[in-house]
Structure 1
Amino acid sequence: MSDFLSLSYPWIKAFHVMAVISWMAGLFYLPRLFVYHAERGQKGAEPAESFQIMEDKLLRLIMNPAMIATWLAGLALVMTPGIVDWSQIWPWTKAVGVLGMTWFHMWLAGQRRALRDGRGLGGRQYRMMNEVPTLLMAVIVLSVIVRW
């Protein structure tokens, strides 16, 4: 298995990067949809129905598969011999960032249901939450590239 992972490393890494880009695109866009939904979508009105369809499809068809692919490829990279030195700090800060990103994904899924049921937050709160993936991305990228 370790021979396979070592030989496949560039392909797994490329797949991981593509999955991360797809996941991040959704994590940036879904809160923005929530802002529009909270500010312009009255329950039962046409805009609300359109926002619900867009939010649902983004989460189910793009974000969930991208998150799963990111995790699978990331775990394959971690299991590749010689790639991660767990005695350093950077893998741990990256792991915390990835767990935070996963929590944020799940929080967004809960907010999609809350908006659908008329219990969502206001546009201002969703605007502020839209910054969370940027902060987590900075922690993850700095951890991997700078290895701090």
Structure 2
Amino acid sequence: MSYLAIKAWHLIWMVTWFAGLFYLPRLYVYHAMTEPDDRIGRERFKVMERKLFWGITTPGGVLTLAFGAWLLAAGGWAAYAKMGWLHAKLLLVALLVVYHVWCGKLLLDFKHERNRRSHVWFRWFNEAPVIVLIAVILLASLKPF
């Protein structure tokens, strides 16, 4: 596969991953707002969250990382040693993986009725991937250092 094809697949899966990371915390906002006696509503959110996390977000993240590693290997590891922008991008990607895992922990909290966070907290939590996306795109496009 050509370098540009690998890059295209990396971007396709990155968009998929971010779509899940943008929408999953939004579902958590609505789930946290669900009334305690609305059993049907809470169960519906649990199904939606589970399917989004395991069916779209996680495969998107894994494939983003796989194609990203393939890009690094195809470009020659040694060439990247002096690219500070890439090191910064990889640090942000690592933080995004931590955020993804945290979303999985929150999924389990909702599944087992252990959520104690408010919908307002989830609204703020939902902003983190936006900041990371902006920073990653600026780093990858501008290559500032």
Normalised by the length of structure 2, the TM-score is 0.92
Matched AA of 1:31: P
Say whether residues 1:29 and 2:51 are aligned partners: no
Tell me, yes or no, if structure 1 residue 115 matches structure 2 residue 127: no
Question: Which residue in 1 is equivalent to 2:7?
Answer: 13
Q: Which residue of 2 aligns with 1:48?
A: 42
2:82 pairs with 1:87: yes
Q: Distance in 2 between matches of 1:36 and 1:91?
A: 36
**Residues 43, 79 of structure 1: alpha-carbon distance in 2 compared, 3 angstrom cutoff:** farther
Higher relative contact order (CA 8 A, sep 6+): 2
- What is residue 77 of structure 1 aligned with on the other side? 71
Match of 1:137 in 2: 133
2:97 aligned partner, one-letter code: T
Amino acid at match of 1:104: Y
Q: Which moved more, 1:134-143 or 1:37-46?
A: 37-46
Segments of 5+ residues of structure 2 without an aligned counterpart are: none
Instruction: Determine if the alignment matches structure 1 residue 99 to structure 2 residue 94.
Output: yes
Q: In structure 2, how many angstroms separate the alpha carbons of the residues matched to 1:98 and 1:117? A: 29
Matched, 1:128 2:124: yes
Q: Which segment drifts farther, 50-59 or 73-82?
A: 73-82
Letter in 2 for 1:138: I
Offset of residue 17 of structure 1 = 0.6
SS of the residue corresponding to residue 4 of structure 2 reads helix
CA shift in 2, pair 1:63/1:124, >3 Å: same
Normalised by the length of structure 1, the TM-score is: 0.90
The CA deviation at 1:81 is 2.7
User: Aligned equivalents of 1:114 and 1:33: distance in 2?
Assistant: 14
Q: Would the aligned equivalents of 1:39 and 1:123 in 2 still touch at CA under 8 Å?
A: yes
Q: CA RMSD in A?
A: 1.6
Aligned-pair identity (%): 30
Distance 2:111 2:134 in 1: 31
User: Do the aligned partners of residues 16 and 122 (structure 1) sit closer, same or farther apart at CA in structure 2, a change above 3 Å counting?
Assistant: same
Deviation >6 Å, runs of 4+: none
Give the length in aligned residue pairs. Answer: 142
